[in-house]
Amino acid sequence: MGEEYRVRLHEYQSKELLKRYGIRVPLGRMAHTVEEAVQAVRPLMEGSGNPVVVVKAQIHAGGRGKGRFAEHPDLPGVNVVLEGRAGGIKAAEERVRELSKRMLGSTLKTAQTGAEGKQVNRLYIEQGVDIDRELYISVVLDRAAGCNLVMASTEGGTDIEEVAAEAPEKILREFIDPAVGLLPFQTHALSWKLGFRGESYRNGCRLITSLAHAAEGLDSDLVEINPLVVTGTGEVVALDGKVSVDDNALFRHKDLLDLRDLSEGDPAEIEASKYDLSFIKLEGSIGCLVNGAGLAMATMDTIKHVGGEPANFLDVGGGATTENVTAAFKIITRDPNVRGIFVNIFGGIMRCDVIARGIVEAVRQVGLEVPLVARLEGTNVELGKQIIDESGLNLISALDMKDGAKKIVELAR
Amino acid sequence: MSVLIDRSTRLLVQGLGGAGRFHTDRCIAYGTEVVAATHPIRAGESETFEGETDPGGVPGRPDRYRVEVPIFATVRDAVRETGANASMIFVPAPFAADAIMEAANAGLDLIVAITEHIPVLDMVRVKRYLEGKGSRLVGPNCPGVITPHQCKIGIMPGYIHREGRVGVVSRSGTLTYEAVHQLSQNGLGQTTAIGIGGDPVHGTTFVDALEMFERDPKTEGVILIGEIGGSAEEEAATWIAENMSKPVAALIAGTSAPPGKRMGHAGAIISGGEGTAREKISALEAAGVVIAPTPTDMGEAMLDALRRAGKV
C-alpha cells in the first residue's frame, strides 16, 4: 500500500470524526506535553460548567481504563480529576499536572497491548460528564450476512464480547440493507429497546441514525461507542469512541491519512509498507519470506508444527520486484532475534527468478550471518534455482515446505 | 464434466492494463477462448495476443497462437456482439465494484474478479445488487477458476494442473497452487479449482462450491482450504455434515496466528475469539472431514479421505 499505510485512530480523533456526523461528544483537548495538559483545564471547566475533568492516555489499544503503567503500577490509563469540585480551577490544574507528568512518556500495559505495553505520547483532557445510564452501540461489518449491522445493548461500559457470552439476549441487532440504509422503523425499535423515553427517545433515534451515517461516510468496518451515556438531563453523549477505517477505501478519504500517528506503529512494519510488503513482527527466531498471505500463514504454522517459532509474517505479494524482495530481506535480518531464514515461494504471478535475484542481491548488500533455507516451486523454478546455485552463496534448498521448515528449525538451534 | 467453466466458455476481459494484458495472454496460451475485452478509451480497437501455446493447456492445438481480441466500450455491447458468457475482471480497485455490477447487468453467467483491495462497503453493495440476478461471482481478491486442459480464467500457473478427480476450493491463492501441485504429483488431479478469495465479503462461498462439486458426477472428492477469521469454514462444516456424500479433506491456515492481527488478507483476522483455527478444525472434523496437519500433507489428506470412502 506504500504511502497509504494503514490508518489507526486515537480516541480523540475518532470523536472528532463522530462529531462531524452530529454525534455529541464531551469537550476535550489533546495534549503532547504537561503544559498543554494543564492549559486545557480552564477552557474545559469554563466551557462545560462541570468541575470534573478526565485525563486519558491515547494509545492504539483498548482496555485503557483497566490498564496500568509499568513505571507506576497503581496508576490507570484513565484518571478522573475531582479536585476542581472543592478547589476550583487551580486545584484541578495541579492534579492534572501531577498526573500528566507520570503518564506522558510512561508505558501503559492493557489487555490489548501485550506484555511490553505502549508508550504514552499523547493525552486527552476531557470534561466530566454527569452519567445517568451507560449503553453500548456500534456499527460493525457482519461477514456472514455481507452487510453492516447495528449492535446495541443496555449493558454499556463492559466488553460486548462479555455481554455476548453471558447475556446474549441483551444484544440488539438491526442489519443495514445497503440498498436503502438503516430505516426509521429500525432506529425507533433500537431507541425504544435501549430504554430511551420522552425527549431522550428522539435524542436516541438521532444518535443511531448519525452513527449509521458515520459508518457509511467514513468507510468504516467498525464504529463503536462504549459507553454511550445518557446524562441526567436526557442528553446522549459518546463518552468513548472508536472508529476503524477500511484501509482499502483510503483513496476516497485522503484527509484521514493526516491522522496517522506513525510513532505508534512498529518501525519495521512501516518500513515494510513502503515496499508493498505485508509484514507483522512476531516473537520467534525463524524469519520468513513468503509470497501470498495464505502461504505465509501456513509457513508460520509449519514452522511451529516442527517445533520452531516464526519471527514474522511476511508476504511479498504477487507484484514484487527484486528491489521489494531485497527490502524484505533487510527487514528480516535487522531483527536481532532472527537465527535462521526460511524463504518459501510458490511462484504464480510471482516468478521464482525474481525472488532468487532479490535474495542474492540482498545478501551481497547486507551479508548473511544466519543460515538460510530456500524452497522454490512454481513459475520459473529452474531459473530461480540456477540463479541461487550460480551465486555461490551458502543457501540450503528444500524439497517441500515441511522439509524446509525442519531444516531451518534444526539449523537455527 | 467440471464445474463453472469448460471448453464452451467464452471469456470477456474487463480491464486490459498491465496485469490484465499479461494474464489474458497467459489464459489464451492455455487455450481459453477469449472473445472480447472492454476498455473505455480503446473501444473500437482490438488487442493482438500471440506466442507459444502452453503445452499444459488445452490439447490438440498448434504450437503457436495469434488472437485478435475486439475491444468494446461496454459489457453489454461485448456480450451482444460476441456471445461472451463469462468475465475476468482486472479493473483497478476504485472502479472494480462498478465493473462487477456492469457484468451482472449484462447477464454474464460467471464473473471472476481478480482485483484486490476493493473497499468492503463496495462489496456489500455488489452483493446486494447481485441478489436475484443470474450471475455467479467468484472473488474478488482471488486467483480465479481453472478446469485443467479446458479453460483457465485467472492468474494461476496453468502448468501445475492435471485433469482428474478432485474439486479444489480455497480462500488463499498460493495455498491453492500448493494443493493443486500435490494432487497432480500424487496422480489424483483436479476437476476444477476455484479460488474464492480472501476478502470478508465475496461472491461464491465454500458452501456454493461444495454444492457444485457434490452435483458434478466427475468430482469424487473435495479439498477445502480455509483460514482464520469469519465463520465460512464452520458453515461449510454444517453443510458437509447434512448434505455431502463425497469425501472432503481440508487445511486451515493460521493455527499460529496471534489474535487481533491482520495476516495479509483482510479476511484473516481473529476478533474476539471468533474464527480461530482450532474452532474451524474441530467443526470440520466433527463433519467427518480429514484435516491436513500441515500444507505439505494436503495431497495425502485427500488420498486418505478417498481411501476411507473406498474410492482408492
Give the pLDDT confidence score for residue B1 in this predicted structure. 59
Q: Cα-flanking dihedrals φ and ψ of residue A205, to 5°?
A: -60, -45
**Among the partner residues A251, A293, A402, nearest to B263 by beta-carbon distance:** A293
pLDDT in tens, A317-345: 877 788 888 889 889 999 999 999 999 99
CA–CA gap between residue B226 and residue B240 (Å, rounded): 14
**Among the partner residues A146, A251, A304, nearest to B124 by beta-carbon distance:** A146
Among A5, A124, A136, A275, which one carries the catalytic annotation?
A: A136
Establish how many alpha carbons lie within 13 A of residue A164's alpha carbon, considering only the half-sphere containing its beta carbon: 10
Give the pLDDT confidence score for residue A4 in this predicted structure. 45
Give the pLDDT confidence score for residue B276 in this predicted structure. 86
Q: DSSP H helical segments within B83-231, as ranges? A: 93-105, 120-130, 173-185, 206-215
- Whether the pLDDT of residue A379 is over 90: the answer is no
Q: DSSP H helical segments within A104-183, as ranges? A: 160-166
Q: How confident is the model at residue A366 (pLDDT cuts 50, 70, 90)?
A: confident
- Among B91, B101, B191, CA closest to B147: B191
- Whether the pLDDT of residue A181 is over 80: the answer is yes
Q: How many CB pairs under 8 A join A and B?
A: 174
- Among B238, B268, B251, CA closest to B183: B251
Give the pLDDT confidence score for residue A372 in this predicted structure. 93
Q: How confident is the model at residue A2 (pLDDT cuts 50, 70, 90)?
A: very low
- Determine the length of chain B: 312
Tell me how far the alpha carbon of residue A78 is from its chain's centroid.
19
CA–CA gap between residue A190 and residue A174 (Å, rounded): 8
Q: Residue ranges of chain B with pLDDT lower than 50? A: 272-273
Q: Judged by CB atoms within 8 Å, which residues 346-385 of A form the interface with B? A: 346-349, 377-379
Q: How far is B115 from chain A (nearest CA, A)?
A: 12
Q: Among all residues of chain B, which has the CA nearest to that of A310?
A: B256
Which residues does residue A220 pair with via DSSP β-bridges, in sequence order?
A245
Give the pLDDT confidence score for residue A1 in this predicted structure. 36
Instruction: For residue B19, give the 3-state DSSP assignment.
Output: helix
Instruction: For residue A168, give the 3-state DSSP assignment.
Output: helix
CA distances from A165 to A119, B93, B132, B272 (A): 32, 38, 36, 11
Give the pLDDT confidence score for residue B268 in this predicted structure. 59
* CB atoms B266 and A248 under 8 Å: yes
Give the pLDDT confidence score for residue A332 in this predicted structure. 93
CA–CA gap between residue B258 and residue B43 (Å, rounded): 49
Q: Cα-flanking dihedrals φ and ψ of residue A350, to 5°?
A: -75, 125
Q: Among all residues of chain B, which has the CA nearest to that of A162?
A: B272
CA–CA gap between residue B49 and residue B57 (Å, rounded): 16
A310 touches chain B (CB under 8 A): yes
Q: Among all residues of chain A, which has the CA nearest to that of B116?
A: A248
Buried b (16+ CB within 10 A) or exposed e, A63-77: ebeebbbeeeeebbb
CA–CA gap between residue A41 and residue A91 (Å, rounded): 10
Q: What is the pTM of this model?
A: 0.92
A295 touches chain B (CB under 8 A): yes
- Among A397, A273, A388, A382, CA closest to A331: A273
* CB atoms B119 and A291 under 8 Å: no
Q: Give Cβ neighbours of residue A301 (< 8 Å, ≥ 6 apart).
A: B253, B254, B255, B256, B277, B294, B295
* CB atoms B253 and A301 under 8 Å: yes
Q: Among all residues of chain A, which has the CA nearest to that of B262?
A: A280
pLDDT in tens, A107-157: 999 988 878 889 999 999 999 999 999 999 999 998 888 999 999 999 998
Q: Give Cβ neighbours of residue A79 (< 8 Å, ≥ 6 apart).
A: A54, A55, A56, A99, A103
* CB atoms A294 and B225 under 8 Å: yes
Instruction: For residue B170, give the 3-state DSSP assignment.
Output: strand
Give the pLDDT confidence score for residue A158 in this predicted structure. 78
pLDDT in tens, B213-241: 999 999 999 999 999 888 899 999 999 99
First-last CA distance in chain A: 35
pLDDT in tens, A34-80: 999 999 999 999 999 999 999 999 998 888 989 999 999 999 999 99
Residue appearing with cell numbers 527490502:
A327
A141 contact residues in B (CB cutoff 8 A):
120, 124, 200-201
Give the pLDDT confidence score for residue A297 in this predicted structure. 92
Q: Give Cβ neighbours of residue A225 (< 8 Å, ≥ 6 apart).
A: A18, A23, A136, A137, A138, A211, A238, A239, A240, A241, A242
Cβ-contact B192, B180 below 8 angstroms: no
Q: How many CB atoms lie within 10 A of CB A167?
A: 12
ipTM score for this prediction? 0.90
Q: Check if A224 is active-site.
A: yes
Among B23, B39, B161, B265, which one carries the catalytic annotation?
A: B265
Percent of chain A with pLDDT over 90: 64
pLDDT in tens, A84-103: 999 999 999 999 999 999 99
pLDDT in tens, A269-302: 888 888 888 898 888 999 999 988 889 999 999 9
* CB atoms B260 and A141 under 8 Å: no
CA–CA gap between residue A31 and residue A40 (Å, rounded): 8
Give the pLDDT confidence score for residue A3 in this predicted structure. 40
What angle (nearest 5°) sits at the alpha carbon of residue B167, between those of residues B163 and B171? Answer: 120
A112 touches chain B (CB under 8 A): yes
